[in-house]
A = this chain, B = another copy of it.
Amino acid sequence: MQIIDGKQTAADIKLEIAAMVKKMVDEGCKRPHLAAILVGHDGGSETYVANKVKDCAAVGFESTLIRFEDNVTEKELLAKVQELNTNPDIDGFIVQLPLPSHINESKVIEAVSPEKDVDGFHPVNLGRMVLGMPAFVSATPAGIIELLDRYKIETSGKHCVVIGRSNIVGRPISILLSQKASPGNCTVTVCHSRTPDIGKITSQADILIAAIGSPGFVKADMVKEGAVVIDVGTTRLPSALTKSGFKLHGDVLYDEVAPKCSYITPVPGGVGPMTIVSLLKNTLLAGRKEIY
């Protein structure tokens, strides 16, 4: 059994991005510039955005954090999005989700110019991805593909089972892995809350991707001997044993599943660290105008 070390892989990729940025700057190009819009003071969102800004600095990107209070109107937010769309200094930007309930998230996502949509949430980017065209792919699925690629895990002809059909993880990773690509060419099954007898499906998987946000959902008897298991779950539960007062839990019951696997991602330190790195990669692509 081999542990897929997402933390180390993410660190390697950050060094590669930093080297590319240095080369770009040496050649007289501008540094890639990421902007982030943060509405309100949700603890999780604050942490995510702070980490994104920190990582931008680490790889040599410029970054701009734009804050709004919870009572920002949809109109004000859309005006800021429009301003960022047309600001030539900004290569890519994100609107940290979730937004307050009085704001229509879909409307905001659709207002972001696809050319600057480094989160890959705009319908155009999703549609282009489905069609196999150049596109910004959302961070978590892109991170999973990167891990499979860097660990040279064979995917062609394998049966991949994805648990979860969310728009930002389950759905896109299921599409990517069934495409004529490498990694890709899997036979892919998508399971979800309405799937009866789910263990009968998951135990057929050569590659099992758990993305439902249900701690410890995947147990040993649901996993085939020798499977590759990718755990996307990151549920925060209170814990008396950690300094922060909480602990991250994956969707996989790691201790009993790991011994059966050929490869497995731990939580934390698996898929999680790849997510921010994927956003940095998209920002680099935006800065280099490689997608549009």
Contacts and interface: CB of A to CB of B under 8 A. Distances in A.
A187 B189 contact: yes
A170 to B, nearest CB: 9
Interface string A155-193: 011010000010100010011001110000101111110
B187 A201 contact: yes
A167 B124 CA distance: 15
A278 interface: no
A131 interface: yes
Main secondary structure of the interface of A (DSSP, over half): mixed
Interface in A97-114: 106
Contact of A188 (B124, B132, B179, B189): B189
A142 interface: no
Contacts of A17: none
A85 interface: no
Contact of A156 (B106, B127, B194): B194
Contacts of A133: 106, 123
Contacts of A130: 123, 126-127, 130, 167, 171, 175
Contacts of A187: 189-192, 194-195, 201
A196 B125 CA distance: 31
A185 B128 CA distance: 24
A14 interface: no
A190 B192 CA distance: 15
A116 interface: no
A122 interface: yes
A176 to B, nearest CB: 12
Contacts of A106: 131, 133
A257 to B, nearest CB: 21
A187 B157 CA distance: 20
Nearest to A187: B195
Nearest to A135: B123
A165 B189 CA distance: 13
A131 B167 contact: yes
A165 B179 CA distance: 8
A123 B132 CA distance: 10
A121 to B, nearest CB: 9
Contacts of A157: 194-196
Interface of A: 106, 122-128, 130-133, 156-157, 159, 165, 167, 171, 174-175, 178-180, 185, 187-192, 194-196, 201
17 contacts: A123-B124, A123-B127, A126-B126, A126-B127, A130-B130, A130-B167, A132-B167, A156-B194, A157-B194, A159-B201, A165-B180, A175-B175, A185-B192, A185-B194, A187-B194, A187-B195, A188-B190
Given A130-B130, A185-B194, A189-B189, 4 more contacts: A123-B127, A156-B194, A165-B178, A187-B194
